[in-house]
Amino acid sequence: MRVLIASDKFKGSLTAVEVAEHVGAGLRRAAAGTEVVALPVADGGDGTVDAAVAAGYERREVPVTGPAGQRVRAAYAFRRADGTAVVEMAEASGLRYGAGAPLTATTYGTGELVRAALDAGARTIVLGVGGSATTDGGAGMLAALGARFLDGAGRPVGPGGAGVAALATADLSGLDPRLRGTAVVLASDVDNPLTGPRGAAAVYGPQKGASPDDVAVLDAALAHFARVLEPALADAPGAGAAGGVGYGALVGLGATFRPGIEVMLDVLGFERAVAGCRLVITGEGSLDEQTLHGKAPVGVAAAARLRGAEVVAVCGRLAVVPAALAAVGISRAYALTDLEPDPERCMAHAGPLLERAAESIARDFLG
């Protein structure tokens, strides 16, 4: 029996790699002789580089500028064989560094990560976006790659959305020429436009510490940014991803938008890993309505069912009905809160609980 574990992280509790380790341990204990294949997955947000490294990519760290202007060390993943680099925006410009500066947080460090990948010889860059602390439309990223954004006095605008609000002229002619020969893929689990009620500021600004007044300022700044650069792309799918960095990637990097989990399954070698598997186990910390709209477990389920495998899920918390899961190809979900109802204890002991859940999966599907 061959089983593939292709789960995302349990945010705040376990990495995707740790989820796979614990599920695998439970399966082996309950179904001796089972061949367990681990393929930790991510959808472009936090954990994307770790998933690529687990799949055999080389991890590289470089010093970059954090969202508040501080120096941080950020990692990207690189595969020499074909020159593919996986750049995770959250590594440089993520909420992991805090959410205290919604108006001035910058994506400059993300641009520095892209430049490091170019320096390494990347011919394809997968730009995974999500978990950002920023709402600057990707202006900082583009500035790090050679673009110039000037105010009415001819001075560089300040960082963040507040800086973009003062933009008078934009010059993209200085962008790193190597970008023209590099395929850039924008990998995101959201397809929001840049502005408006479904835009970057309105939907995601509050998660980054933006007040209602801040949201209004940021939305107006992004609309102004788009008018100066390229208005037509403001409504493109993914333009509003990660505080509008998707828009910057589309306009300045010539990126192609693709759903994050689809991109990552290709990058990680899912088709090879799933070959011969009768069962695929996917999951994430919370299986909820957001999951159903293109998050990692749904992408895994779609790809697995195309190849004839049955799919079950593990999760910390289950907030959708079985019929909704069945509609996206997941036969059954095993929630840790069914084993430990107390949320704090559930998160603290997620590893052993996952092993117990995996034992149940083995009894139910591998008997």
Looking at the structure, do residues 15 and 63 belong to the same domain, yes or no? no
The residue among 103, 114, 98 whose CA lies nearest residue 66 is 98
Q: Are residues 118 and 135 in the same domain?
A: yes
pLDDT at 99: 77
- The parent domain of residue 323 ranges over 2-39+269-365
Please report the sign of the dihedral spanned by the C-alpha atoms of residue 15, residue 16, residue 19, residue 21. negative
Please identify, among 238, 261, 284, the residue that sits at the C-terminal boundary of a domain.
261
The domain that holds 140 is classified in CATH as 3.90.1510.10
202 pLDDT exceeds 90?
yes
pTM for this prediction:
0.93
3-state class of 175 per DSSP?
coil
**How far is residue 64's CA from residue 89's CA, in Å, rounded to a whole number?**
11
Question: Looking at the predicted structure, is the pLDDT value of residue 21 above 90?
Answer: yes
212-225 tens-digit pLDDT: 999 999 999 999 99
Say whether both 293 and 177 belong to one domain: no
**Residue 151 burial by Cβ neighbours in a 10 Å radius (0-12, 13-18, 19+):** middle
Q: Are the CB atoms for 142 and 249 separated by under 8 Å?
A: no
Same structural domain, 88 and 185: yes
Q: Which of 83-92, 97-106, 165-174, 198-207 has the lowest mean pLDDT?
A: 97-106
The answer to whether residue 251 scores a pLDDT higher than 90 is yes
Residue 290 has pLDDT above 90, yes or no: no
Examine the pLDDT at 8 and tell me if it is beyond 80. Answer: yes
Average of pLDDT values for 158-165? 96
Domain boundary among 261, 285, 301: 261
Residues 271-286 have a mean pLDDT of 96
320 vs 179: CA distance, rounded Å: 42
- Quick: pLDDT tens for 61-110: 999 999 999 999 999 999 999 999 999 999 999 999 987 899 999 999 99
Q: Are residues 236 and 203 in the same domain?
A: yes
- pLDDT the model gives residue 3: 98
The residue-averaged pLDDT of 20-35 equals 96
Q: Do 218 and 353 fall within a single domain?
A: no
Same-domain status, 219 and 306: no
